[in-house]
Amino acid sequence: MADHLTDNLKRPLSEVLDENKMPKKRFFRTRAHCNPLSYNDGFAYPVAPDEFDWTAHYPNIPEEDRVVTVLDIGMGFGGLTVSLATSLPNNLVLGMEIRAKVCEYVRLRIEALRVDHPGQYQNSSCLRTNCMRYLPNFFRKHQMEKIFICFPDPHFKAKNHRRRIVSHILLSEYAYLLKPGGRLYTVTDVEELHKWHVEKCEAHPSFRRVPDSEALANDPGVRTMLEDTEESKKVARLGGNKHFAVYERIADFHPEDGATGSSSSSDSKFNTHIMKLFE
């Protein structure tokens, strides 16, 4: 490993790594959030998903198996990304983050974990990008099994609500990426933002909510999301509340078939919405 970092830090690795080669978080502190609508330049992205080379991210995974199926959008310092790597060993997990210093921290963290735990964490990686703009450039339709959105920026001011990572337009992108039966996970400690998430997801025809009790009992991803992110641990220390919701991707409706790919009555909202497009 070269003894230098990106231009975002301009410090030698020997200074920012501890004796176990793990990055020291104090050198990677940055603003908690940023405006995704102003970060539109400087990102490298492929014209189409098949043009992106994942070798550098998953060097020890066979080429034919380098297909990301789990996304951690706005990964922060990577707590969920690395936890999912061990709880979902048969999936490729990718954390995505817009802040350069934070992404560099997670990259070094995963490198160190791979060295300390031979054979593990090969299925996890991170990528700096703007998820509000470039997700379809990296991933194919119905490629994802799980998408996590954990403790996103609330953007409290009404004029800034368009910056929120959950909106009708972005939910359509998530629906495009998720395979039928795939799941979208959200969690926040801000009740008003949770209500926003629920309102937008309930109104979108491609998603149905998984009952909280069912999600907690049967989906280990929920416990991981609620317990293993840095922000979730901070909320727990401060005695705050964690508001979560899990949504399942409904199968697409095909007019020529006369039915959806699912017999669930929860699809009726989706069917009605789509049928109106053909009237």
Q: Quickly list DSSP for 113-172.
A: HHHHSTTSSTTEEEEE--HHHHHHHH--TT-EEEEEEES-----SGGGGGG-S--HHHHH
What confidence score (pLDDT) does residue 267 get? 45
How far apart CA 43 and CA 46 sit, in angstroms, is 10
Cross-strand partners of 77: none
The neighbour count for residue 36, using CB atoms within 10 Å, is 19
**Strand ranges, E, within 33-86:** 68-73
What confidence score (pLDDT) does residue 230 get? 86
Per the residue annotation, which of 72, 153, 189, 267 is the catalytic one?
Answer: 153
Closest CA to 143 of 221, 249, 60, 273: 249
User: What is the residue-level pLDDT of the chain in tens, covering all 279 positions?
Assistant: 444 444 455 666 666 776 666 665 555 556 556 665 565 557 889 999 999 999 999 999 999 999 999 999 999 899 999 999 999 999 999 999 988 888 888 999 999 999 999 999 999 999 999 999 999 999 999 999 999 999 999 988 999 899 899 999 999 999 999 999 999 999 999 999 999 999 999 999 999 999 999 999 999 999 999 998 888 999 999 999 999 999 999 998 665 655 444 444 444 444 444 444 334
Closest CA to 248 of 103, 109, 146, 132: 146
What confidence score (pLDDT) does residue 210 get? 98
What confidence score (pLDDT) does residue 252 get? 82
How far apart CA 247 and CA 105 sit, in angstroms, is 30
Q: Tokens at residue 139, please?
A: 């991933």
What confidence score (pLDDT) does residue 34 get? 65
Amino acid at 45: Y
How far apart CA 103 and CA 28 sit, in angstroms, is 9
The neighbour count for residue 146, using CB atoms within 10 Å, is 22
Closest CA to 204 of 230, 169, 229: 169
Pairing of strands 178-188, 144-150: parallel
116 is catalytic: no
Closest CA to 231 of 197, 189, 198: 189
What confidence score (pLDDT) does residue 43 get? 82
What confidence score (pLDDT) does residue 257 get? 57
What confidence score (pLDDT) does residue 22 get? 65
Residue 182 is inside which H or E element, if any?
Answer: strand 178-188
